[in-house]
Chain A
Amino acid sequence: MKKPARLDIDAILDDSGTRIVVCCGAGGVGKTTTAAALGLRAAERGRCVVVLTVDPARRLAQSMGLTELDNTPRLVSSPEGGGQLFAMMLDMKRTFDEIIEAHADPARARQILSNPFYQSLSSSFSGTQEYMAMEKLGQLRRSDEWDLIIVDTPPSRSALDFLDAPERLGRFLDGRVIRLLTAPAKAGGRNAFRLLNAGFGLVAGAMTKLLGAQVIKDLQTFVSALDAVFGGFRQRADMTYKLLQAPGTAFLVVAAPERDAMREASYFVERLAEERMPLAGLVVNRVHVAPASKLSAARSAAAAEDLDSRGEHELTAAVLRLHAGRMQLMAREGREQEHFTSAHPTVPVVRVRAMSEDVHDLTGLRQIGDLLASA
């Protein structure tokens, strides 16, 4: 089996041409941790960095001073050497509200913001978080206040959601139902359903019966108000998407050495190639290591059994079984990584070992940063 090339993290962070690093991958693999660790490392190497996080673990957030969800980058540290680390936590609802405010006149904006459907969409539509993360990234980049932006992606089950959700939200807001619901208003009719055919009359009746007339009215108000600002929406999403294809962007796919996560990483790598988005490499996080790795699982298990059968050295036997279990786990993890590498032999890889404790503070992040860069 050919070994994959080593992913050179420092070369990426030190290259002033790198303006955006996106950490993506399946849920729970360590995207947020990796993003924060890269941010700290880059700052300590002299760059002015902002990390856009979506869902940091509570203690990690606290240690970075992110106690409020206020959508504003906060200075976390300014190490010697001129670099600076800022971090912010995404507030998706506020980001959405701000887009509405930017694109609609004040009266219309008020109408949208107070609509119950808008409130529901902006706080719980399953793609809103992804869309708003993209939007925020675009804003940070356009502000040009930082020379490096590191983005953590939302905790969706699938890594691809980050790329797909904005498009889905866009399609959705641009869709047929919206046109249907806005058509009469555009034609100046008072009755929303007047211009439509008999089939739709039936539907309208059913909807009214089912949802009540007020709901239909709210839905229509929402849709026509949103329609007015939607062109702007679409353009912004397209712009950010292009940004992701630009040469200053580097995607890091993060995975744990487990089947589901590695499979997800594979899909993502393929998808990035299709979209012509620049992949920097794969981070395999939380890899297990064994200081006594010279002793194989089989040999260790056999020795434990031997001691057991003789009724001697109980403690050593237990330790040998513990070691055998760990070696088996490592073998499984190794196989999952080989699967990935045989499918994607040219993707550079770096491994980060599993710490015995969660990563809570800058010291922990620095340690992860060192591991990312050493390999």
Chain B
Amino acid sequence: MVESPDTDWTDVRLHVVTGKGGTGKTTVAAALALALAAGGRKVLLVEVEGRQGIAQIFDLPPLPYEERKVAVAPSGGDVYALAVDPEEAMLEYIEMFYGMRRAGRALTKMGIVDFATTVAPGFRDVLVTGKTTEAVRRRGKNGRRIYDAVVLDAPPTGRIARFLNVTQEVAGLAKVGPIKNHSELVNGVVKSRETAVHLVTLLEEMPVQETLDGIGELRSAGLPTGCIFINMVRDSLLPQAALDTAVKARFDPGELVLGLKAAGVADGAQAVAMAEALAEEVAEHAHRTELERAERESLAGAGLKSYDLPLLADGVDLAGLYELAESIRTQGAA
């Protein structure tokens, strides 16, 4: 094991990644795992929604319920992945604590586990968070933690507080008994300073609103908030001065006419028409940039650290994932 590098989240061992659906939770969780593993560390990436998103992103066949190595991080370091299946987690749990392997199998076979976890998502949540926190706490023979960090690709913002607040959710269903005890163990990890809940957003109105609402809910549930990842950020190609004038609809196409002529793209009246059309595009771009700036400001109001992740023009492939990981590292998030 390598000493922890000095980053913004050095003491955090469980990184929970949430966000509005489609904003890039799975992508950011995977990139964060790579970034945390860089330099010879060992990181576990956990997925709980049964979508096999991790396998897809690393271009692998579906993952079994088993921790296996999925990627090597820059300058050494390993990323392991686990797709948690609630039924399997239940069996493991029953066997580990009660030695009741047969009874566990029978429960599953009769569909009882499926039933209980469907009718009471709190049960399901406690099983998957239980498995995740177990990996966080697990130690090797030398007494050291097996994983330097665990990254959880979590449910979306709308569900995250309930998902993590397992004790509360289970309390209504099971007032005493092992499930209740189990939930308290999970709670101990989730609410500790070793955990941080990060939120992924885009600079658009609905995701930003959802992020702010989510932060509020996490806070009132006493859950530890981490940072905001602003995903799919576009470079601004134009100088700020040009954007400012364009927003005020005072952008002068005259300069463009000259430029277009100089580049030999168009001439005469054609150059003027083209410059005007381009000026319209500039105005729209400026308007968007302005809205994005406003969204950024609302996010800043939440008082969390934030990091920008670039929009990858060709979508996210493996190389793109490493690019995002690199960006996370250079900004000091990992």
Q: How far is the CA of A177 from the CA of B264 in the complex (A)?
A: 75
9 closest A-B pairs (Cβ-Cβ)? Answer: A316-B259, A212-B177, A206-B103, A313-B259, A292-B277, A291-B277, A303-B263, A177-B115, A291-B280
Does B312 belong to the interface (CB within 8 Å)?
A: no
CA of A157 to CA of B25 in the docked complex: distance in angstroms?
14
- Which residues from 188 to 213 on chain A have a C-beta closer than 8 Å to any C-beta of chain B? 199-200, 202-203, 205-207, 209-212
Report the minimal beta-carbon distance from A22 to chain B, rounded to whole angstroms. 21
* Known pairs A28-B22, A211-B174; A321 contacts B237 (CB<8 A): yes
B100 and A206 contact, CB distance less than 8 A: yes
B265 interfacial by beta-carbon distance below 8 Å? yes
* Given A157-B21, A211-B116, A307-B262, 17 more pairs with CB closer than 8 A: A120-B120, A180-B110, A203-B106, A205-B103, A214-B175, A214-B176, A214-B177, A219-B119, A295-B274, A303-B260, A303-B264, A304-B263, A307-B263, A312-B262, A318-B242, A319-B256, A358-B205
Query: Which one of B239, B256, B259, B284 lies within 8 Å of A356 (CB-CB)?
Result: B284
What residues of chain B lie closer than 8 Å to A290, measured between beta carbons?
Answer: 277, 281
CA distance A155 to B207 in the complex (A): 13
Instruction: Kindly state the separation between the CA atoms of A175 and B118 in the bound complex, as whole angstroms.
Output: 12
A-B contact pairs, 26 of them (CB 8 A): A28-B21, A28-B206, A116-B172, A120-B121, A176-B111, A199-B106, A202-B106, A203-B103, A203-B110, A203-B112, A211-B179, A212-B180, A291-B277, A292-B281, A294-B277, A295-B266, A310-B262, A315-B238, A315-B242, A315-B256, A316-B259, A316-B262, A318-B239, A320-B263, A320-B278, A325-B313
A206 and B107: CB pair below 8 A?
Answer: yes
Chain B residues contacting A203 (CB-CB under 8 Å) are 103, 106-107, 110, 112
B34-52: which residues lie under 8 A (CB-CB) from chain A?
none
**Once the chains are docked, how many angstroms separate the CA of A121 from the CA of B38?**
43
Contact: B94 with A210, CB < 8 Å? yes
Bits for A259-273, please: 1 = Cβ < 8 Å to B, else 0.
Answer: 100000000000000
Output the nearest chain B residue to A120 by Cβ-Cβ distance.
B120
**Residues of chain A having any CB pair with chain B under 8 Å:** 27-28, 57-59, 116-117, 119-121, 124-126, 155, 157, 172, 175-178, 180, 199-200, 202-203, 205-207, 209-212, 214-215, 218-219, 222, 259, 290-292, 294-295, 299-300, 303-304, 306-307, 310, 312-313, 315-323, 325-326, 328, 356-358
Select which of A175, A178, A215, A313 is within 8 A of B263 by beta carbon: A313
Between A155, A210, A328, the greatest number of chain B beta carbons within 10 A of the residue's beta carbon is seen for A210
Q: Report the minimum CB–CB distance from A131 to chain B (whole Å).
A: 13
Among B241-281, those with CB < 8 Å from A are: 242, 255-256, 258-260, 262-266, 274, 277-278, 280-281
B143 within 8 A of A: no
A356 touches B288 (CB 8 A): yes
Q: In the complex, are the beta carbons of B259 and A307 less than 8 A apart? A: yes
Q: Do A177 and B21 form a contact, CB below 8 Å, given A212-B179, A218-B173?
A: no
CA–CA, A215 and B263, complex, Å: 77
B residues whose Cβ falls under 8 Å from a Cβ of A: 20-22, 94, 98, 100, 102-104, 106-107, 110-112, 114-116, 118-122, 162, 172-180, 204-206, 209, 237-239, 242, 255-256, 258-260, 262-266, 274, 277-278, 280-282, 284-285, 287-288, 291, 313, 315
With a CB–CB cut-off of 8 A, which chain B residues contact A304? 263
Q: A172-B118, A291-B280, A322-B282 are in contact. Are A210 and B110 (CB under 8 A)?
A: no
Q: Which of A124, A292, A306 is the one whose CB lies under 8 Å from B278?
A: A292
**A177-B238 contact given A157-B21, A323-B281, CB 8 Å threshold:** no
The verdict on A212 contacting B288 (CB below 8 Å), with A57-B205, A316-B259 known, is: no
A125 to B118 CA separation, bound complex (whole angstroms): 7
Q: A322 with B116: in contact, given A202-B106, A307-B263, A315-B259 (CB under 8 Å)? A: no
Instruction: List the A side residues contacting B238 at CB < 8 Å.
Output: 315, 318-319, 322
**A117 CA to B114 CA, complexed, in Å:** 14
Contact B237 A155 (CB under 8 A): no
CA distance A126 to B50 in the complex (A): 13
Q: Smallest distance from the beta carbon of A159 to chain B beta carbons, Å?
A: 13
The verdict on A117 contacting B178 (CB below 8 Å), with A313-B259, A323-B278 known, is: no
Contact B205 A177 (CB under 8 A): no
A57 to B173, CA, bound (A): 33
Known contacts A124-B121, A316-B258; A207/B112 CB under 8 A: yes
Q: Would you call A215 and B177 a contact (CB within 8 A)?
A: yes
* Contact A319 B172, beta carbon cutoff 8 Å: no
> Chain B: which residue is nearest A155 at the CB level?
B21
B121 near A125 (CB under 8 angstroms)? Answer: yes
How far is B156's CA from A155's CA once the two chains are assembled, in angstroms?
Answer: 12
Flag if B277 contacts A58 (CB, 8 Å).
no
Q: Known: A215-B173, A316-B258. Is A325-B122 also a contact (CB below 8 A)?
A: no
Query: Which chain A residue has the least Cβ–Cβ distance from B102?
Result: A202
Q: How far is the CA of A320 from the CA of B284 in the complex (A)?
A: 14
B-side contacts of A211, CB under 8 Å = 116, 174, 177-179
Q: Which residues of A contact B21 (CB under 8 A)?
A: 27-28, 155, 157
Residue numbers in A under 8 Å from B256 (CB-CB): 315-316, 319
Complex Cα–Cα for A319 and B277 (A): 11
A116 near B209 with CB under 8 A, answer no
* A125 to B206 Cα, complex, angstroms: 24
Task: List chain B residues, Cβ under 8 A from A120.
Answer: 119-122, 172-173
The listed residue (B106, B178, B262, B313) touching A209 by CB distance below 8 A is: B178
Contacts of A326 in B (CB 8 A): 281
Give, as a whole number of angstroms, the nearest-CB distance from B60 to chain A. 19
- Could you say which residues of chain A place their CB within 8 Å of the CB of B107? 203, 206-207
**Do residues B278 and A319 form an inter-chain contact, with CB atoms below 8 A?**
yes
Q: How far is the CA of A313 from the CA of B114 in the complex (A)?
A: 66
Partner of B237, one of A214, A322, A328: A322
